[in-house]
Amino acid sequence: MELSSATLYIVPTPIGNMADITLRALTVLEQVDLICAEDTRHTGKLLSHHNITTQTMSVHDHNERARVQTLVNKLEQGQSIALVSDAGTPLISDPGYHLVNGIRDAGFKVVPLPGACAAITALSAAGVATDRFAFEGFLVAKSAGRQSQLANLKSEPRTMVFYESPRRIVDTISDMIAVFGGERHIVLARELTKTFETIHGAPAGDLLEWLRSDENNQRGEMVVMVAGYKANDETIAPEVIDALKLLSEELPLKKAAALVAKLYGGKKNALYKTGLELGL
C-alpha cells in the first residue's frame, strides 16, 4: 500500500483485544514518518507487539494546541503522520479535535481509518434501537451536575450512549433512575473484547440491584446504553414522575401513587414501585 505524503492519518487501536487492529492500520503505522500518541509509552507496547519502530511524539489534551504548528511544518515538508489515542478511535472522547481542525484549516488532507470504538462495539450487541442514537460520552463527576445533564435528556427519543467509570457507575445508574424512572431499559457493556466481557440489559431498577449484588459487576471499562423515551410505552413519563415526587412530599407514597394514577392514567402499582426505587 502506497501512503499519501503530507497527510494526517487517524488510526484506531484495540480497546482490549490486541488482535483488533486492521491490516491497513498496521501498514499506516509502519510507513508514516511520525506517530502522534496520547501516551507514547502505552502506544509503544502496541507498536513493539507488531515490531513497528516508527518514531512517536506525545499529543494529548494539554499540549495538543501547541503541537499544531510543529505538525503543520512537518506536513509542509511532505511528511505523513498518524494520530492514535490510548484505545479505540481518536477524537471519540479522546484528544485530537484541535489537531485535526488545525491541520484541515492549514489545507492538509486528513484520512480516517475505520476500526475499534467502544460505543459502536457495544451498540452492535446490546439489542437496543440503533437506527438513531445519541452519543453522550462521559457525564460530569458530581451528582447534582449529572442529574441536570440527564434532566435535559429526559424526553430524548433516541438510544443514548454514555461512557462511564467503574467508580461512578452505581451513582450514575441511581441518578438515571431518579430522572428516567426505574422502568427505563438500560444495557451495560463492560470489558468489551476482554476476558470478563459482560453485556447485561434490564430495567434501570433491576440493573442497579444487579450491580450492587456483586462488586465484580462494577469493575472495568464500561458503556451504558439507555433506551430512548417513548410516549406510549410502559415507561412512566417524566412529568408523571415529577407529580409523584411532589405529591409524595405531602402524602404517603401509596396515596400519592393512587392520585397520580387517577390524574394521569396508568397503573398505581407501577407508580408505587417506581416511587420505592426512587426512595420517595
Query: Is the Cβ of residue 9 or residue 163 nearer to ligand SAM in the bound state?
Result: 163
- Please tell me whether residue 133 binds ligand SAM under the rule CB under 6 A: no
Contacts of ligand SAM in 195-234 (CB under 6 A): 221-223
Work out which of 158, 193, 199, 210 binds ligand SAM, going by CB under 6 A: 193
Cα three-residue angle 154-145-150, rounded to 5 degrees = 15
The three three-digit cell numbers of residue 185, written as one number? 431499559
- Please tell me whether residue 93 binds ligand SAM under the rule CB under 6 A: yes
Contacts of ligand SAM in 143-182 (CB under 6 A): 163-165
Cα–Cα distance for residue pair 117/15, rounded to 1 Å: 7
Work out which of 32, 36, 59, 87 binds ligand SAM, going by CB under 6 A: 87
Spatial CA neighbour of 236 closest among 174, 158, 145, 154: 154
> Is the four-CA dihedral 179, 185, 188, 189 of positive or negative sign?
negative
Amino acid making up residue 196: F
- Please tell me whether residue 119 binds ligand SAM under the rule CB under 6 A: yes
3-class SS at 262? helix
Query: Is the Cβ of residue 9 or residue 272 nearer to ligand SAM in the bound state?
Result: 9
DSSP string, 173-237: HHHHHHHH-TTSEEEEEESTTSTT-EEEEEEHHHHHHHHHH-GGGG-S-EEEEEPPP-TTSSSPP
Q: Tell me the site size for ligand SAM, rule CB under 6 A.
A: 24
Residue range at the interface with ligand SAM (CB under 6 A); choices 73-81, 89-97, 232-240, 263-271: 89-97
Query: Looking at beta carbons, which residue is closest to ligand SAM?
Result: 88
Query: Is the Cβ of residue 154 or residue 194 nearer to ligand SAM in the bound state?
Result: 194
Query: Is the Cβ of residue 54 or residue 198 nearer to ligand SAM in the bound state?
Result: 198
Q: Which residues bind ligand SAM (CB under 6 A)?
A: 15-16, 85, 87-89, 92-94, 117-119, 163-165, 189-194, 221-223
